[in-house]
Structure 1
């Protein structure tokens, strides 16, 4: 059985009203407050209506609800988080969509992939390719947001760090971080993404060092040595800060 449906069934059983509930209500221990469409001018019952105890507090069955958004989505037929991720990427790759709407979609996408499960699901949903393609978008704000999302997806996550490396994303981030003339905000987000990509993941650190060699920073670095990694990242930030002051 689907995990969410199983949890929904379990919640329903745990919070079902005993058959003695009507009698208890008659004795004044509890009372159910139900609003009918005819009770007011609104033909649709309010979504905020909840079962109440006699003193007006929420029923424990509601107050103690453990239903998460995924379960509610399964119950009411709303889009899953995977659906929302796909929808956001469709907006981002649609040339007819306005920049403002793309930025809203990017913000939603970034919040979704803060979840480890959603970040790992980028591969299953085939979203790595379109996400990385946005690193080269002609609009600087979209490049910045793409780098931000990459950094969020790979932070403290060896699985997504591996996927970014396999997709060729590490040299791309190095190029963005070191590119003279690139927008300073874009370069800073690229450095953030690179920092997330290489920490505690030696293969990515090695590739980054190789790409940085042409810039005079190609020394071997232990990806597990945070001070050493900070040295590389700090060096990149200093370059960007100098460019910002120029």
Structure 2
């Protein structure tokens, strides 16, 4: 059963049954029932999958005729969805990497901000996500690395460098730096690409090692100090 709400209904039923069999003085009160999940169960409606929600959000984000506030809300929803590692991995399978990276060039600063944020979220090593996923940590790192590779393949690094070093909006620059920091650590190809596209004032004199965090921080800290 993949629906969290329906899972909670099953858990509620089991706990409620156990509570009725236990001594009233010692039994813990059962949790409240998920009324929305119960309604879905009764009506046979399970709702759209996270992948569908991601695609629907991106449709709104890319719709130039939609109100900016609606596009921002859709981007916020998208970012929350991809905080989950499985959903972040689904960016590739749903064909959403290119549409996401395209938003880095959007004329609206808020949309550039969210695009950079989502790029960073999709590739960062999120401890909370690691705790929620049952796969071994090595597997999680490999899956994160796959997302970093996709970010490199679709050409996001040059765009993120431009935002991080020259965007007019400070908060956009900060999110772009966050995305770069998440992308280049432990991934030499992405770090090399970032250095290659850096303006002269940010370009390090020595070769940086993506597996050495102090080495990476020489670049990232210089970017942060410029904001």
Query: Per the shorter chain, which TM-score range?
Result: 0.7 to 0.9
**Higher helix fraction (1 or 2):** 2
CA distance 1:103–1:216, shift in 2 (3 Å):
closer
CA RMSD of aligned residues (A): 3.5
How many residues get paired?
Answer: 196
- Provide the residue aligned with 2:215 in structure 1: 228
Pair 1:166 & 2:135 matched: no
Give the C-alpha shift of residue 30 in structure 1.
4.8
Structure 1 residue ranges, 4+ long, deviating more than 3 angstroms after superposition:
57-60, 213-216
Normalising by the residue count of structure 2, what TM-score does the alignment of the two structures yield?
A: 0.74
SS in 2 for 1:76: coil
What is the 5 A alignment of 1:86-125? 86-125=55-94
- Higher RCO, Cα 8 Å, sep 6+: 2
CA contact (8 A) 1:209 1:220 kept: no
Aligned-partner Cα distance in 2 for 1:170–1:90: 23
Q: Looking at CA atoms only, which structure, 1 or 2, has the larger radius of gyration?
A: 1
Structure 1 gaps of 5+ residues are 22-28, 32-52, 241-246
Q: How does 1:1-246 map to 2 (within 5 A)?
A: 4=2, 30=20, 63=31, 76-156=45-125, 157-179=144-166, 182-212=168-198, 214-218=200-204, 219-240=206-227
- Give the Cα separation in 2 of the matches to 1:234 and 1:161: 20
Cα distance in structure 2, aligned partners of 1:102 and 1:109: 10
Change (3 A) 1:123 1:59: same
Distance apart, 1:213 and its partner CA: 5.9
